[in-house]
Amino acid sequence: MSTTDSALGTQSYRERLPGPGLARHVTCLWVQRVASGREAYRHRTVPNGGVEIVCDLGTGVARVVGPRRGAVVERLAPGSTVIGARLRAGAAPSILGPAALHLVDLEVDLDALWGAAAVGLGERLAEAGLPAAVLLLEKEIAARSATAPDLDPVVAEAVRRLRPWSGEGVNEAAAGLYISPRQLRRRCLTALGYGPKAFQRILRFQGFLALCHKRDGDGIGLARLAAVAGYADQAHLTRECARLTGLTPGAFLEETGRSCGTTHDHTASFAPLLRALGTRPHRGRPVARV
């Protein structure tokens, strides 16, 4: 039996929405746990377009995970509990300080960005334990967001326009914002860590994952899901999936189905995508932590 198979049912991942005061800066808060006395849990994290503040409650280390351009395969030790807050696309500079471009594919200790405000935060989170640690992390981010600069309104509108299922390309989005494609790219790199085309690819794939989350047992094939998510065809989906996950769509969904099963809940992050896709979200079989 593989590590992935034996991990099924011994770990969980749960998301929830942030409080109303944090909604403009945070998309969700999450908890991932691995049962004690079992094998390490192997999971594949794929790009989601955001920046996350995370803390392993076992080690008391709080860190920032920058925007990903490709998949990262990790192992969580038995007994691990990791909590996190996913920042809304474009919110990283306001909440953390540096441009998102400087965090791409990096993990940085939170105190390197927040300074004294973060010293000892990881230890306090570890001491608090669940569920108090999640509330404490939320409170810390809320305090930061209260005095944070506003998000770049041009990027915020660009994120809305760049949804691939909207049918609007990068040049059209720039024209609609009355700026040049070069200016749009520069502002997206600062706020998102990606250029607009790269961000659109990631958002399209997240839409595909949300649809897969919803489709449990309804018989919808990959070609149809690819079309609804905004891909030109199934071959386009296959190329992009390999680029973002390192696997074919079939292999990726098989892996995540084995490793996640019904123990993962992505409703908080997937429901907005499903609404944008014009579908009615409901709880289905989850896929991977993304």
pLDDT in tens, 87-119: 999 999 999 999 999 999 999 999 999 988 788
**Tokens at residue 259, please?**
């490793």
Cα–Cα distance for residue pair 177/38, rounded to 1 Å:
52
- For residue 171, the enclosing domain spans 153-276
Average pLDDT of 127-147? Answer: 95
User: Are 49 and 184 in a shared domain?
Assistant: no
pLDDT at 214: 75
| Inter-residue contact 159 to 177 (CB < 8 Å) | no
Where is 133: in which H helix or E strand?
helix 132-146
User: Are 49 and 140 in a shared domain?
Assistant: yes
Question: Residue 208: pLDDT above 50?
Answer: yes
Count of residues making up the chain? 290
User: Are 131 and 14 in a shared domain?
Assistant: yes
CATH number of domain containing 266: 1.10.10.60
Question: Residue 269: pLDDT above 70?
Answer: yes
User: Are 12 and 34 in a shared domain?
Assistant: yes
pLDDT at 10: 84
pLDDT at 1: 32
Domain C-terminal end among 106, 121, 146:
146
Residue 200 covered by a domain: yes
User: Are 141 and 7 in a shared domain?
Assistant: yes
| Inter-residue contact 15 to 267 (CB < 8 Å) | yes
User: Are 213 and 140 in a shared domain?
Assistant: no
Residue 283 covered by a domain: no
User: Are 136 and 167 in a shared domain?
Assistant: no
Residue 30 covered by a domain: yes
User: Are 165 and 117 in a shared domain?
Assistant: no
Residue 44 covered by a domain: yes
Question: How many folded domains does the chain comprise?
Answer: 2
CATH number of domain containing 109: 2.60.120
Report the mean per-residue pLDDT for the chain.
Answer: 89
Domain C-terminal end among 146, 170, 185:
146
pLDDT at 108: 96
Backbone angles phi, psi at 156, to 5 degrees: -60, -45
User: Are 110 and 198 in a shared domain?
Assistant: no
User: Are 197 and 171 in a shared domain?
Assistant: yes
Residue 34 covered by a domain: yes
Question: Residue 200: pLDDT above 50?
Answer: yes
User: Are 130 and 173 in a shared domain?
Assistant: no
Residue 203 covered by a domain: yes
**Tokens at residue 26, please?**
């945070």
Question: Residue 285: pLDDT above 80?
Answer: no
**Tokens at residue 269, please?**
């992050």
pLDDT at 107: 97
Nearest to 166 by CA among 154, 176, 153: 176
Residue 87 covered by a domain: yes
What global pTM score does this model have? Answer: 0.89
User: Are 127 and 210 in a shared domain?
Assistant: no
Question: Residue 146: pLDDT above 60?
Answer: yes
Where is 109: in which H helix or E strand?
strand 107-109
Identify the band that residue 217 occupies on the pLDDT scale cut at 50, 70 and 90.
very low
Those residues whose C-beta lies under 8 Å from the C-beta of residue 131, and which sit 6 or more positions away, are none
Domain C-terminal end among 118, 146, 174:
146
Cα–Cα distance for residue pair 153/235, rounded to 1 Å:
35
